[in-house]
Amino acid sequence: MKVEEEGERASKGHSHSKKRPAETDDHRIRKKAKSGSKKNLKGSEVNGNSHGSSAKNSHSGSSHKPLQESKITSSEKLKSDAGNSGSEAEGMKLESYEDLGKRADGNNNLEVMRPQVKMEHEGNELAILSGKTKNCKSRTLSHKSSHSHKHRHKTTDDKGPILTGSRSENDWKNKNTKCSSDQIQQAKVKQTDNSHTSLPALKEEDVEDVDQIFDPISDCTQACRSVENDLEVRKEKSSAERKRDKECSVNITKEKTQGQKKKRSSRSTEHNEPTKNKKAKREEDEDKEKQKEKGQAKKADDEAGKWKWWEEGKHADGQKWKSLEHKGPLFPPEYEPLPSNVPFLYDGKPVQLSLAAEEVATFYAKMLDHEYTTKENFQNNFFTDWREVMTEDERKLIKKLSKCDFSKIHKYFVEKSEVKKNMTKEEKQVLKEEANKLTEEYGFCLLDGHKEKIGNFRLEPPGLFRGRGEHPKMGKLKKRVQPEDVIINCSQDAKVPEPPAGHQWKRVQHENTVTWLASWVENIHGHIKYIMLNPSSKLKGEKDWQKYETARKLKLRVDAIRREYRKAWTAREMKQRQRGVALYFIDKLALRAGNEKDDDTADTVGCCSLRVEHITLHKHQDGQDYVVEFDFLGKDSIRYYNKVPVEKQVFKNLKLFMENKDPEDDLFDRISTIYLNKKLNEAMPGLTAKVFRTFNASTTLQEQLDKLTIDDMTVEEKLLAYNRANRAVAILCNHQRAAPKTFEKSMLALQEKIKKKTEEVEKAKKELKQAKKDHKEQPSEKSKKLVEKKEKALKRLSEQLKKLKLQETDREENKVIALGTSKLNYLDPRITVAWCKKHNVPVEKIYNKTHRAKFAWAIDMADENFQF
């Protein structure tokens, strides 16, 4: 029969068919593969045919579907007559699953042949293993490879269809088929050894819901089950192989990727360095821009929420405020005893001191490396006050300071200080945040409903008084201030500050005609100390504004006052003459009035307290007539030394005042500061010696700025002009200082910068000269641009050099001159603000943030036309 002949042909290795030779098929496949055709060849389903009733299903060409892996889901048992099937079962030979209905021709075309068995059952013929059964499901697997392959069906004759599918071997190996969750992995069919050519590996064939494949022929079910078992084994093997291959390919891919990254990184390190630098610089610029915008936004918010008290009216009847609420002063922490391994030694032996005595001993130990502890007056005052806090037994033991050894205690505090200096940034940030919390709680008050900053809300801790110069009380003990020493001032409707636990205030009062929040009496001089508001507050600003307005009024009355004190030079009464000469010195030299001093205070003097020994008269000196030489200690023990030519009548009066007097006698023995200020107040309400000093300082600044400033100056030159004007005022007011300790070092560094910049300028000049020469010889657009570039570079370097030289001059001139004192206390800030606005100089160049807060009223109200 036909089926048996075809089975024999397949077993013998025949790979060709009668109607389609191998050569023709091979030629066509190669031709289509070369052309890159993506057309899918369609296979056909082989349908089981009956002998008589189903004639149209026997035609293989009538059904064209793509070659599919079929799911056989039939659970139905085929019923057949055993007698009818017996004769044909003997001629049917079932082989393994690979041989079952499959064979390959010489062109690697896989022929899938499903043998048909004629079974006579009620006149019907059933097809065993046909492509179409009752529950057979056919589905299409899309192949996304760039090389698509064609499936086609092939018929040998009209009696029975044979399916033949062709795929290239590489396509089968590279194909990755993804199945959905309802699909089972396909069974892989391997190439058999007995074929003349290599068979492509087929993907697994999906088989589900198969209880058994029934064959009426004997042993058919068992044979098909063995096929299924073989399929499962091959499926597990192929899964393990795919997993190994996948891991291997992943490792290879990782190695390749890492190698490529290393090559790229090593290759691009040098080339990408400028790019990285540019990127980092760009990011840095962006951060700076963001910070700038953030600062500007914060500044705008601060300005928007700023209290412009100067636009409001003043309180009547001398009232300073209507409501005042605060938390009181912040007391220093209690004393922490020294560790047991840090002893105090007396006569070489350790002594355990009481807490009070030990605390005072630490004050002295901390100052061992300071020159104060070498002064006899300091040592005597300290030892006297220290013995007062000792116990009776300690006083009996410790009798000489020279036998006391504080070195161990000093070393302990030095090490403690070093530990604090070496704290990490995070640790310092924690301390800063704690300090900020305390400032937020104690450093602000509510004044008339507005939040104002308090100046010195922390009480000074106990310690040793130092003083300035050779103060007679240096070394004395400044005692710890207790809440029982403090008077609190607040409004009646405000909550009274709570004192520390276990303590109470000395007194609570509600006086709105004063500006202080708390007060106490310090023990060194018996002076009253105050807690006041910050200089940026309304109360301080109003006081400054009033002071400068009074000084401006003096400008209208000063000529009359000068005529009056000149007239007094020739008065018959000695008191009037002394008053006239004293006012002349205050007006011309901007001397302080001077107050009477106690014997236990520093020997500093002012105009009214000058002694005969403080001046020397020279009728002729250095080409000048009637020269007075001043030499005395002024405020803060700053020496005032000056040679000033005076008018003849003043010179005569000074000789008269010095007659028959000892060097220690007062020069102006008939007048006092109180008398002098009283006469000034009679000349103009509110006028004092200090107002005269403020008037002369502000007038000098205005005159110097008008004289030294030129419109075409650079900003740096204008700043130098301002500092020189400020310096003239500082010299007038005798605002001197000692040269900073780092002055020489900073000047050397600045001079080194100037030297390097000078070399750069000289180099730039040579390069410009060479560029001009090259351009002259061979003119071109490129050489022209090079010349322009070199000119710009030279100009920029020259400006930088000029700026550095101006800084050097400015520093040298201000070496021993304190510009800040006069700038903050004697110069009307509106002069500076108007000058900045007129000459386009940023106010920030003159006033820092603190100064701008202090003079916010002046910055807001002054325009460029303001004149003192």
Q: Is the pLDDT of residue 190 over 60?
A: no
Which of 690, 724, 745 terminates a domain? The answer is 690
Which tokens hold the place of 793?
A: 């570079």
Which of 643, 663, 690 terminates a domain? The answer is 690
Domain count within the chain: 4
Residues 768 and 652 in one domain: no
Residues 672 and 709 in one domain: no
User: For the purposes of burial, counting CB atoms within 10 Å of the CB of 318, is it exposed (0-12), middle (13-18) or buried (19 or more)?
Assistant: exposed
Cα–Cα distance, 183 to 177 (Å, whole number): 11
pLDDT of residue 154: 37
Comparison of pLDDT for 638 and 383, the residue scoring more: 383
Give the percent of the chain with pLDDT over 70. 64
Coil, strand or helix at 150: coil
Band (pLDDT 50/70/90 cuts) for residue 304 is low
Q: Which residues, in sequence order, are bridge partners of residue 324?
A: 447
With respect to residue 774, please indicate whether it lies within any of the assigned structural domains.
yes
Q: Is the pLDDT of residue 420 over 50?
A: yes
Residues 755 and 800 in one domain: yes
Cα–Cα distance, 231 to 69 (Å, whole number): 14
Measured CA to CA in angstroms, residue 61 lies from 4, 21, 410 at distances of 23, 19, 112
Residues 785 and 850 in one domain: yes
Contact 645, 553 (CB under 8 A): no
Among 485, 528, 479, CA closest to 504: 485
Q: Is the pLDDT of residue 482 over 80?
A: yes
Measured CA to CA in angstroms, residue 373 lies from 366, 380, 406 at distances of 10, 10, 12
Residue 721, C-beta contacts closer than 8 angstroms, at least 6 positions apart: 705, 708, 709, 710, 713
Residue 135, C-beta contacts closer than 8 angstroms, at least 6 positions apart: 72, 73, 74, 75, 76, 209
Cα–Cα distance, 550 to 686 (Å, whole number): 7
Mean pLDDT of the chain: 74
Q: Is the pLDDT of residue 867 over 60?
A: yes
Cα–Cα distance, 784 to 813 (Å, whole number): 44
Residues 550 and 652 in one domain: yes
Catalytic residue among 412, 640, 826, 847: 826
Q: Is the pLDDT of residue 177 over 90?
A: no
Which tokens hold the place of 249?
A: 């390919």
Q: Residue 682 is which amino acid?
A: E
Residue with tokens 């697994």: 204
With respect to residue 856, please indicate whether it lies within any of the assigned structural domains.
yes
Q: Please, what's the b/e burial string for 270-291 (b: 16 or more CB within 10 A of its CB; e: otherwise)? A: eeeeeeeeeeeeeeeeeeeeee
Residues 527 and 509 in one domain: yes
Q: Is the pLDDT of residue 386 over 90?
A: yes
Which tokens hold the place of 787?
A: 């010349």
Residues 562 and 636 in one domain: yes
Q: Is the pLDDT of residue 346 over 90?
A: yes
Cα–Cα distance, 821 to 171 (Å, whole number): 93
Residues 354 and 374 in one domain: yes
Q: How far does Cα 266 stand from its chain's mean position?
A: 32
Band (pLDDT 50/70/90 cuts) for residue 75 is very low
Q: Please, what's the b/e burial string for 371-398 (b: 16 or more CB within 10 A of its CB; e: otherwise)? A: ebbeeebbbebbbebbeebbeeebeeeb
User: For the purposes of burial, counting CB atoms within 10 Å of the CB of 827, is it exposed (0-12), middle (13-18) or buried (19 or more)?
Assistant: buried
Cα–Cα distance, 158 to 59 (Å, whole number): 7
Comparison of pLDDT for 61 and 423, the residue scoring more: 423
Q: Where are the beta strands (DSSP E) in 688-793?
A: none
Task: Check the CA dihedral 819-825-827-830 and report its sign.
Answer: positive
Per-residue DSSP letters for 239-305?
HHHHHHHHHHHHHHHHHHHHHHHHHHHHHHHHHHHHHHHHHHHHHHHHHHHHHHHHHHHHHHHHHHT
Active site residue 826: yes
Which of 394, 422, 450 terminates a domain? The answer is 422
Residue 423, C-beta contacts closer than 8 angstroms, at least 6 positions apart: 431
Band (pLDDT 50/70/90 cuts) for residue 48 is very low
Output the CA angle 324-327-329, nearest 5 degrees: 110
Residues 393 and 448 in one domain: no
Q: Which residues, in sequence order, are bridge partners of residue 215?
A: none
pLDDT of residue 244: 63
Q: Is the pLDDT of residue 385 over 70?
A: yes
Q: Is the pLDDT of residue 319 over 50?
A: yes
Comparison of pLDDT for 29 and 532, the residue scoring more: 532
Q: Is the pLDDT of residue 145 over 70?
A: no
Torsion angle in degrees (nearest 10) through CA of 216, 221, 223, 227: 130
With respect to residue 14, please indicate whether it lies within any of the assigned structural domains.
no
Contact 464, 476 (CB under 8 A): yes
Task: Check the CA dihedral 661-662-663-667 and report its sign.
Answer: negative
Q: Which residues, in sequence order, are bridge partners of residue 111?
A: 103, 164
pLDDT of residue 157: 40
Comparison of pLDDT for 775 and 248, the residue scoring more: 775
pLDDT of residue 215: 42
User: For the purposes of burial, counting CB atoms within 10 Å of the CB of 73, is it exposed (0-12), middle (13-18) or buried (19 or more)?
Assistant: middle
Angle between helices 673-683 and 574-589 (to 10 degrees): 80
With respect to residue 843, please indicate whether it lies within any of the assigned structural domains.
yes
Output the CA angle 847-852-853, nearest 5 degrees: 150
User: For the purposes of burial, counting CB atoms within 10 Å of the CB of 444, is it exposed (0-12), middle (13-18) or buried (19 or more)?
Assistant: middle
What is the radius of gyration, based on Cα positions, of the chain?
A: 55
With respect to residue 63, please indicate whether it lies within any of the assigned structural domains.
no
Q: Residue 186 is which amino acid?
A: Q
Q: Which residues, in sequence order, are bridge partners of residue 451?
A: 446
Rounded to an integer, the average pLDDT of 563-568 is: 92
With respect to residue 744, please indicate whether it lies within any of the assigned structural domains.
yes
Residues 765 and 813 in one domain: yes
| Helices within 814-828 (DSSP H only) | 819-825
Rounded to an integer, the average pLDDT of 35-47 is: 39
pTM (two decimals): 0.59
Query: What domain range includes position 651?
Result: 540-690
Largest CA distance in the chain: 170
pLDDT of residue 809: 83
pLDDT of residue 329: 95
- pLDDT tens digit sequence for 92-128: 333 333 343 334 444 344 444 443 333 334 344 333 3
Coil, strand or helix at 789: helix
Residues 412 and 433 in one domain: no
Q: Is the pLDDT of residue 325 over 70?
A: yes
Cα–Cα distance, 745 to 740 (Å, whole number): 10
Residue 242: phi, psi to the nearest 5?
-65, -40
With respect to residue 724, please indicate whether it lies within any of the assigned structural domains.
yes
pLDDT of residue 298: 56
Residues 577 and 648 in one domain: yes
Starting at the earlier edge strand, list the strands of the sheet with 624-633.
615-621, 624-633, 639-645
Q: Which letter does DSSP use for residue 650 in this model?
A: H
With respect to residue 607, please indicate whether it lies within any of the assigned structural domains.
yes
Which tokens hold the place of 483?
A: 């809440």
Q: Please, what's the b/e burial string for 212-247 (b: 16 or more CB within 10 A of its CB; e: otherwise)? A: ebbbbbeebeebbeebeeebeebbeebeeeeeeeee
Task: Check which CATH number belongs to the domain holding 416 and give it.
Answer: 1.10.10.41
Among 491, 409, 480, CA closest to 448: 491
Contact 497, 326 (CB under 8 A): yes
Helix (H) or strand (E) segment spanning residue 795? helix 781-813
Q: Is the pLDDT of residue 733 over 80?
A: yes
pLDDT of residue 274: 53
Among 714, 565, 591, CA closest to 647: 565
Comparison of pLDDT for 14 and 578, the residue scoring more: 578
Band (pLDDT 50/70/90 cuts) for residue 189 is very low
Task: Check which CATH number belongs to the domain holding 523 and give it.
Answer: 2.170.11.10
Task: Check which CATH number belongs to the domain holding 816 and give it.
Answer: 1.10.132.10
- pLDDT tens digit sequence for 596-633: 555 556 678 888 889 999 999 999 988 889 999 999 88
Among 105, 119, 134, CA closest to 47: 134
pLDDT of residue 805: 87
Cα–Cα distance, 818 to 761 (Å, whole number): 34
